[in-house]
Chains A and B, each alone.
Chain A
Amino acid sequence: MATSGYVRALVSGRAIPLRGDDVDTDRIIPARYMKGVSFEGLGEYAFRDARFDESGRPKEHPFNEGRFSGASILVVNRNFGCGSSREHAPQALARAGITALVGESFAEIFAGNCVTLGLPAVGVAAEAARKLQDMVEADPSLTVEVDLESREVRAGSSRFPLAIAESHRKALASGLWDSTAELLPGLDAARALAARLPYSKWARSSP
């Protein structure tokens, strides 16, 4: 994963539709794949239990369809990424080749995790998300563009206005999305603030 500098103002590629509201991060990456000390190899397990049954037989799922293989823009519906804060979820998607997400809305921790990975997760109107999914179903070769400068998602001749927190937009579009790099210059000011906090001065009961 890159650490800084990449401008993510325009991301484009073929898209993959994933229908349904409230897709939680346990669905995106089941907890058993979090048993490790690195994020390596997680891409293989994205949506594992939605894609395969317990004996490993593939189920009907867009990630199993050859026509969407190599697609990089994930088109979802409402409250995608809810539940657990696990960064393993966007890490798994990124490692499965996803470079941007478009949907009606995203859970907040998930959306924040996406930004720290340089992955735009942008909102569009509910009907726009469904229309995009229909368009991509009908033509998997369609190129979808997520443009953070003009604040729109483009597909074929259609344009949909996109919503994203202005700070997220700015961070991605200007390559400032590495939050540690953004925060480090403030370390001295943070130390000064810490010393002023009322609770910095109290003794502990009996640690």
Chain B
Amino acid sequence: MSANLFDKVWELHKVGQLPSGRDQLFIGLHLVHEVTSPQAFAMLAERGLGVAFPGRTFATSDHIIPTDDQSRPFKDPQAEAMMAALEANAASSKIEFFGLASGRQGIVHVIGPELGLTQPGMTIACGDSHTSTHGALGAIAFGIGTSQVRDLLATQTLAMDRPKVRKIEVEGSLAKGVGAKDLILYILSRLGVEGGIGFAYEYAGSAVRGLGMEGRMTLCNMSIEGGARAGYVSPDETTFEYLRGRPYAPALADWDKATAYWRSIASAKDASYDDEVGLDAAEIEPMVTWGTNPGQGIGISRAMPRLGELPRERREGARAAYDHMGFSEGERIAGKKIDVAFIGSCTNGRIGDLREAAAVAKGRRVASGVRALVVPGSMQVAAQARAEGLDRVFVEAGFEFRLAGCSMCLAMNPDKLEGRELCASSSNRNFIGRQGSARGRTLLMSPAMVAAAAVSGEVVDVRSL
């Protein structure tokens, strides 16, 4: 038996063992944004410490950025203060900052891979739970809290216990109209939202190999929704091709050395794991969540589960979810009338997601009474979408085409649900209140399914359009 990627990369980055028994782990790339960093910079200053590795630290702003009018100062004084704090901290600590003027601003988990900062065999951390996204490139990447952001700024290391590794092997081909978002929602529905506690997930098998890099990012992005702090795909030619020529990727003169390292840390065929799960890709259809956690999802053709069919320990949660959603057990999810459609977020705000949604929107109209938003994950995604004319497709169909940011995924900016609105959303969390209204309701699905719901006015199987 040989080592899996996770164990090899961990070993390479282990500085030593700490008095508490945790490992001191070196982090190759630290990404910083405006919400979870100002307190960390303040704590650092309180202790008279500086940033140890500014060259390994990169900042951008995403959560609080308005997506309609980004002129400064922002209309929301709190958002302006957070933006100003990040700009000041980055400048005084000599951290490269991808602001609005750089043309490279965007959601931190979109721009890391896009700029080639994220690379195989790296350790990556950010004060954001969706940092697991970067595992798509064969990195091991963790979301951390603000005190750990302070740790990283001060030492570029974290105090961590090594998690176990679970291999999730998905064999077969995904059906037409079924993609990475459906795959991860299916995995969550099978393994639960707490099944991954204590594990990192390695996604493998022919269905995963068959995904492009952006699909792999969608998959790894929602690992945390399953309780797994990290998720990754072992790197292959698809990964290397994606990285070639990106601004912060290795120069071509060093390319052979880089790919040799990347191949060396890939999981071997006979690698050992703490746990293995096998799934059949052919069983998966477009998925939609019916409840208030991302594990509460079903295939579009299915009825919402009856409480009695669920494992005993999931019934109370399901009952509370039905209460909030205003749904009843045994009902079909298809046909639910929506008020809002949101396409974007670190899960599904990349160019491939926008292409997928535009293909559905083209030549159709957003149903009357539906508010539909397309929010690119980065300035570069937005520019590419414009170059391909996707913005026109969306606008002609009645969608708003916005500027880059986290937008309605988490409502720290003006994009929010109101009252009891029901939102078809390509984001990652259907938690109560997540999209900005305590009574608001979220249905998670793929970008194509959101576009289909937008033009139909109700939840519908995109394959039927």
Contacts and interface: CB of A to CB of B under 8 A. Distances in A.
Interface of A: 3, 20-22, 24, 26-27, 30-32, 34-39, 49, 53-54, 78-79, 82-88, 90, 105-109, 112-113, 116-117, 126, 165-168, 170-171, 174, 176-177, 179-180, 182-184, 186-187, 189-191, 193-194, 197-199, 201-207
Given A26-B429, A87-B147, A170-B21, A180 B247 contact: no
B28 interface: yes
Contacts of B252: 205
The 6 closest A-B pairs by CB, nearest first: A87-B145, A116-B147, A113-B145, A79-B194, A37-B38, A202-B254
A201 B24 CA distance: 22
Contact of B147 (A26, A174, A179): A179
B20 A34 contact: no
Given A79-B194, A87-B146, A22 B248 contact: no
Interface stretch (B74-82, B172-180, B276-284): B74-82
B421 interface: no
B194 A22 contact: yes
A21 B253 CA distance: 53
B78 A86 contact: no
Contacts of B95: none
B271 interface: no
B15 interface: yes
Interface string B96-137: 000000000000000000001001011000011101000000
Given A37-B82, A165-B161, A190-B26, A202 B250 contact: yes
A205 B19 contact: no
A186 B129 contact: no
B274 interface: no
Given A34-B412, A108-B197, A190-B26, A203 B254 contact: yes
B446 to A, nearest CB: 21
Given A180-B151, A187-B155, A198 B121 contact: yes
Contacts of A116: 145, 147-148
Contact of A205 (B160, B251, B411): B251
B144 interface: yes
B53 interface: yes
Interface string B372-412: 00000000000000000000000000000000000000111
Contacts of A194: 26, 53, 56, 156
A183 to B, nearest CB: 4
A83 B119 CA distance: 25
B26 A193 contact: yes
Nearest to B44: A180
A84 to B, nearest CB: 5
B28 A182 contact: no
Contacts of B250: 199, 202-205
A184 B36 contact: no
A85 B247 contact: no
A79 B197 contact: yes
Contact of B47 (A21, A35, A180): A180
Given A35-B412, A202-B257, A193 B227 contact: no
Contacts of B412: 31-32, 34-35
B204 interface: no
A171 B412 CA distance: 34
Interface string B230-258: 00000000000000011111111110011
